[in-house]
Amino acid sequence: MDKWTLKKHWERLQPRLTPYWFLLPALIMLGLTVFYPALQAFFLSFTKFEYDLTQPPVWIGLNNFQRLFRDPIFWQTFRNTFLYLVCVVPVLVSFPLALAILVNRQLRGIHWFRVAYYTPVVISMVVAGIAWKWLYADNGLLNQLLQMVKLPSVPWLTSPDLALFSVMVVTIWKGLGYYMVIYLAGLQSIPQELYEAAAIDGSDGIKKHWDITVPLMRPYLLLVAVISAISATKVFEEVYVMTRGGPNHSSETLVYYLYSKAFGELEMSYACTIGLVMFLIILGLSVMRLGLEQRSVKVQSGNLP
């Protein structure tokens, strides 16, 4: 092949390669900061550091996974994470929709209500956790209010039965405004004529939202459900700031258990094994999200019943 032919091939190929040249710096950064550490963590989950982290790890095969399935604390944190998922996600799917409907009105000063509901989102989780920890304290505001009405104080963060649910409240409080904005964008795309036609047919008040809003908001409901599920699976800051996993691991989640093993006990290989299990869980949720989104698009286009 002569030089002229190579030049013509390169000229035809260059427009197709141009987007990849723009993507190359980002791919290099992702490779160095995400993909390579992920592959290294995957390798470490099959090894063990015999003495300290300064020595190379020793290959032990599936021993870490066998230890993981026999670890009672792992299963307790797994149950805590699953309970977190079951309790938090339904609230974060339904309550923000109600808030979005409430603020989706043409009223004077409604923008201030939207800002008020969204304010917790911009607050750092560390700051929010410290503030709520003060509220939950034995002499905090919540217990003082209970004492004012002659009720006993509640050990919000020191009771094994209440600690996890107390942390859930903070997650819900912080996420309401974020998901409300997602729903608000969907609500503003619904034509007002549909509600006017429904009112003529006798569907008014709350019933119109059940007949019109909920079916048309199905893609947004699925999106919020999967995003909030992934976020609930990865919850860490609230637990770290408010309870440190206590009392007696009752509020410890998978991410916090991974953190304590990696940086508290320096069991990096075992922590990588926990991280691999978490990766598979989040991967499953992500695949489910993509499947639900594709099905929702097909339903809207009429390809599925």
Please give the full DSSP string across 145-198, using - where no structure is assigned: HHHHTT-----TTT-TTTHHHHHHHHHHHHHHHHHHHHHHHHHTTS-HHHHHHH
Q: What is the mean pLDDT of the chain?
A: 87
Distance CA 56, CA 50 (A): 8
Q: 46 in a domain, yes or no?
A: no
Indicate the DSSP class of residue 203: -
Higher pLDDT, 146 or 289: 146
pLDDT-based confidence at residue 210 (cuts at 50, 70, 90) = confident
Report percent pLDDT > 90 for the chain: 53
**Rounded to 5°, angle at Cα 101 from 97 and 106:** 150
Across residues 53-80, what is the average pLDDT?
91
The whole-number average pLDDT for the span 237-241 is 94
pLDDT of residue 89: 93
Whether the pLDDT of residue 98 is over 70: the answer is yes
Q: Residues of the chain with pLDDT > 70: what percent? A: 94
Is 300's pLDDT higher than 90?
Answer: no
What domain range is 230 assigned to?
Answer: 63-301
Q: Determine the pLDDT at residue 304.
A: 47
Q: Is the pLDDT of residue 265 over 80?
A: yes
Is 195 among the domain residues?
Answer: yes
Tell me the mean pLDDT in the region 270-280: 92
Any idea what the CATH number is for the domain that residue 177 is in?
Answer: 1.10.3720.10
Is residue 8 predicted with pLDDT exceeding 80? Answer: no
> What predicted TM-score, i.e. pTM, was given to this entire model?
0.85
220: CB partners within 8 A, 6+ apart: 182, 183, 185, 186
**pLDDT at 299 exceeding the cut of 80:** no
Nearest to 41 by CA among 269, 297, 301, 296: 269
Does any domain span residue 53? Answer: no
Whether residue 276 lies inside any domain: the answer is: yes
Report the chain's terminal Cα–Cα distance, integer Å: 56
Going by pLDDT thresholds of 50, 70 and 90, the confidence category of residue 302 is: low
**Domain assignment of residue 103, yes or no:** yes
Stretch 115-136: mean pLDDT: 92
Greatest C-alpha distance within the chain: 95
pLDDT at 24 over 50: yes
Q: Which residues pair with 47 in a beta bridge?
A: 59
- Whether 52 shows a pLDDT value over 80: the answer reads no
Is residue 275 domain-resident? yes
Q: Is residue 120 part of a domain?
A: yes
For residue 49, being part of any structural domain is answered with: no
Domain count, the chain: 1
Strand extents, DSSP E, the chain: 47-48, 58-59
